[in-house]
Amino acid sequence: MRRLTRVAEVRDLVAAERAAGKRVGFVPTMGFLHEGHLRLVDEARRRADVVVMSIFVNPLQFGPTEDLSRYPRDLEGDAGKAEARGVDALFVPEAHAIYPEPPRVVVSPRALAGRWEGAARPGHFEGVLTVVAKLFNIVQPHVAVFGQKDIQQATLVRAMVRDLDMPVEIVVSPTVREADGLAMSSRNSYLDPHERERALALSGALRAAETAHRSGVRSATQLEEIARGHLASAGIEDVDYVAIADPNTLEPLVHAEAGAIVALAARIGRTRLIDNVILGSP
Ligand code: PAF
C-alpha cells in the first residue's frame, strides 16, 4: 500500500492507473477505522481495480462547539487495517494540503440539508460536500462508497454528483453493527461502559419501529412515537430528532411504506450518535 500526503502524488498515481485502463474506487473517511469502514473497502474492491482511501478529519464540517479537537485518531493503526484489507493507496493529507487558505468557494446544499442532521449541525453538510467535492477532484474515482449510517450525507452526496454533473458513481453500503446491534462508529470510542449499554437503545428504538411496521403500522406519527417511547424508557431524553422520511428527498412522511427511512440522533452523555434503518428491508 502506498501512503500519500500530497495532492500531486494522488493525481499522478490515479492518472497512471486510469491510463492503464484501471477502474478507481474511493473510500473517503475521517479515520479511526472500524469494520464499518473496512466493508466500504470491500465494496469498492468489488467494483474497481484500484482502491484509494482517504483519511482526513475535515475541520470544515465541525461546528465551533463540536468534537474536532477530541475526534479519535490512530493513523498507524488505521494504516495497518487499510493495508490488511487491500487498500492500494492511502491518502492522508495535512489540513494545509486540503485548505492552503480558507476556501472562498464552497458547495452549499439547499433544503435537503436544512432538516435532521443539518438542522442540528448548521454548516455541517456544506463542510462535508465541500471536502467530498475536493476529494473527488483530487482522486478522480470512477466509484465512491459511503456508509448508510450517514444516510443524509449519502443522499446529499448523490444529489451533489447529479446536480453538478460529477462523473462518479455513488454506492451506499449497509450499516455494520456490533453483535448487540449498536451501529459501528468511531464516536463509540467516547462511550464509557455504562453509556455503551444505554446506547443500545438507539438500535433498539429502530428495531421497535421496524417491528411495528412489519405488523402493519404505517402512520409516521405512530412509528415516531414508538421509537421515542423506546428511547425514553431507556432514559435517553436528549433526542435531536426521530425522522420518518422519504429516502430520496428526506422529506417527512405521513405514511411510511416499505423503503421509508427511520433515522434518529441522540446524545448519550457528551456523545452524539446517529443511526437509521430502511423500513421493509431484510
Ligand atoms: O463520513 C465521513 O467520515 C466524512 O463525513 C467524510 C465523507 C469522509 C467527509 O469528511
Name the residue among 105, 199, 154, 138 with its Cα closest to residue 13: 138
Tens of pLDDT, residues 12-60: 999 999 999 999 999 999 999 999 999 999 999 999 999 999 999 999 9
Distances 88 to 27, 53, 91, 94, 249 between C-alpha atoms, Å: 11, 8, 10, 20, 35
pLDDT of 194 strictly over 80: yes
Average pLDDT, integer, range 190-213: 98
Tell me the C-alpha distance between 82 and 7, whole Å: 19
Q: Are residues 243 and 253 in contact, defined by beta-carbon separation less than 8 angstroms?
A: no
Q: CB neighbours (10 Å) of residue 19?
A: 8
Grid coordinates given for 262? 427511520
Q: Identify the residue whose C-alpha is closest to ligand 1 atom 3.
A: 29
40 lines ligand 1 (CB under 6 A): no
97 contacts: CB under 8 Å, gap ≥ 6: 5, 6, 7
Quote the ligand 1 centre to 218 CA distance (angstroms): 33
Q: Is the dihedral of CA 136, 138, 139, 142 positive or negative?
A: positive
Q: Identify the residue whose C-alpha is closest to ligand 1 atom 9.
A: 128
Ligand 1 atom nearest the C-alpha of 150 is 1
* Contacts by residues 227-231 (CB-CB < 8 Å, ≥ 24 positions apart): 227/262, 227/264, 230/201, 230/204, 230/205, 231/201, 231/202, 231/205, 231/264, 231/266
- The average confidence (pLDDT) of the chain is 97
57 lines ligand 1 (CB under 6 A): no
Tell me the C-alpha distance between 37 and 53, whole Å: 10
Q: Are residues 157 and 129 in contact, defined by beta-carbon separation less than 8 angstroms?
A: yes
Res 152: pLDDT: 97
Q: Identify the residue whose C-alpha is closest to ligand 1 atom 8.
A: 29
* Ligand 1, pocket-test mutation among 27, 29, 61, most atoms within 8 A of CB: 29
Grid coordinates given for 239? 433526542
The pTM of this model reads 0.97
Distances 110 to 1, 17, 114 between C-alpha atoms, Å: 38, 35, 7
Res 281: pLDDT: 80
Q: Where are the alpha helices (DSSP H) in the chain?
A: 7-19, 35-47, 75-85, 95-98, 116-120, 124-139, 151-163, 193-214, 220-233
Tens of pLDDT, residues 133-155: 999 999 999 999 999 999 999 99
Quote the ligand 1 centre to 221 CA distance (angstroms): 31
* Ligand 1, pocket-test mutation among 38, 153, 168, most atoms within 8 A of CB: 153
Quote the ligand 1 centre to 232 CA distance (angstroms): 30
Q: CB neighbours (10 Å) of residue 57?
A: 18
What SS3 class is residue 124?
helix
Quote the ligand 1 centre to 96 CA distance (angstroms): 18
186 lines ligand 1 (CB under 6 A): no
Distance from chain centroid for Cα 168: 17
pLDDT of 208 strictly over 90: yes
Domains of the chain: 2-173 (3.40.50.620), 186-275 (3.30.1300.10)
Tens of pLDDT, residues 71-87: 999 999 999 999 999 99
Tens of pLDDT, residues 232-249: 999 999 999 999 999 999
Q: Identify the residue whose C-alpha is closest to ligand 1 atom 1.
A: 29
Q: Identify the residue whose C-alpha is closest to ligand 1 atom 5.
A: 128
Quote the ligand 1 centre to 186 CA distance (angstroms): 11
242 lines ligand 1 (CB under 6 A): no
Quote the ligand 1 centre to 132 CA distance (angstroms): 8
Catalytic residues: 37
Phi, psi of 230 (to 5 degrees): -65, -45
30 lines ligand 1 (CB under 6 A): yes
